[in-house]
Amino acid sequence: MNKMNVVIGQSGGPTPVINASLRGAVEKALKHDQVGSVYGTPNGLQGILNHKLIRLNEKLPEICKASEQPGAILGTSRHPLAEEEYAKIIDELERVNAKIFCYIGGNGSSRTVLALHRYASAMGKDIRFVHVPKTIDNDLDGTDHCPGYGSASKFLSHTVQLFAADMLSLQTVSKVEIIEVMGGNRGWLPAASALFKKQETDYPDLVYLPDHPIDADAFLADVDNTFSSKGRSIIVIVPDHMKVNHLAKDPYATEDPIRGHNAGIGFRLSQYINRQLKIPTRVTVPNSLFRIASGFVSRVDYQESLLLGDKAIDYALAGYSGGMVTLERQSSSPYVSRVQWAQLDDFAGKEKTFPTSYWDASRHMPTPAFVDYLLPLIDQEEPGLVFSLN
């Protein structure tokens, strides 16, 4: 029997569990008699195009160890696939007798997998292409949730409560704390910041979503009213893709010391508050901490990431191609999910919207339905902090 080989790549922004999917795929491939060699492609498509594939058969112990750490150990890229590169990729896969290509990534990777599948099919090539989803943004359509989202949500929801404990302990100067949150164009991750807000006096105080543009004056009124009614420091969550209408660029604004003139929305809003309301304002921008805080990895997130890599190989060996391994929720309490197959024709590159039933726009807060959705994905773990003995 002629053995088939497997090529696996990682793409886009890493997540805390991206290496778990790699581990799941490599472990499963090496268990099958049909599979000969398993190759990793460094830096996504670039490794294939540059003929730099790495044989992974003897590297399983290192991959298992790396599955517990952040950062994509194969290296990723955001290389946009050009039409003239289709043939080069197929030629390289054929050169190493690869019949399966698994690509771990987000929306861009899903488009790549579908495009290569269609090209190979049109050329009569027997190569199976499988997309393994990952993104902290949770914006891939066709799946209940994405690996990486649960861990990033755990980090954010717990960290906001740690900020609250710090603010409540030091009341010498009341201020506005703006926390700028990743999440792309959808509100899945910013909404997670308020997972443990149970009363109006709890933190965070205001949460904004990229899905809902807001006027600069309305934002200012929200902050002013909340700060005045609370009489002490407040926490405001803003997404990095937040759209604020009529927020003029201040010609006298100082530059962000890290990002220079390309200041983020949190920095611009902090200056707007300072200028208009004269309230001390501080900005925290965790940036890649959402992707690397391994101490907050969700066990559910890890196990599902591992399982999706595993099942990607099973589906490919069964002849499936041009699709994505997805998570289907069967129950939230107790939490049960299963892996399914979805053809990418209807989903590739499409962003999953944040449901209106998950958001109370009048309060700038998530609804109980969103809490029920998210809690299982962070292991049902609450921070369990004591804020005061008074």
Binding positions for Mg(2+) are 107
Q: Which residues are annotated as a binding site?
A: 13, 107, 135-137
SS (H, E, C) the chain: CCCEEEEEEECCCCCCCHHHHHHHHHHHHHHCCCEEEEEEECCCHHHHHCCCCEECHHHHHHHHHHCCCCCCCCCCCCCCCCHHHHHHHHHHHHHCCEEEEEEEECHHHHHHHHHHHHHHHHCCCCCEEEEEECCCCCCECCCCCCCCHHHHHHHHHHHHHHHHHHHHHCCCCCCEEEEEECCCCCCHHHHHCCCCCCCCCCCCCEECCCCCCEEHHHHHHHHHHHHHHHCCCEEEEEECCCCEECCCCCCCCCCECCCECCCCHHHHHHHHHHHHHCCCEEEECCCCHHHHCHHHCCHHHHHHHHHHHHHHHHHHHCCCCCEEEEEEEEEECCEEEEEEEEEHHHCCCCECCCCHHHEECCCCEECHHHHHHHHHHHCCCCCCCCCCCC
Q: Which residues are annotated as a binding site for diphosphate?
A: 13
To the query of whether residue 240 is one of the catalytic residues in this protein, the response is no
Q: Which of 137, 139, 205, 211 is catalytic?
A: 137
Q: Which residues are annotated as a binding site for substrate?
A: 135-137
Cite the active site residues. Answer: 137
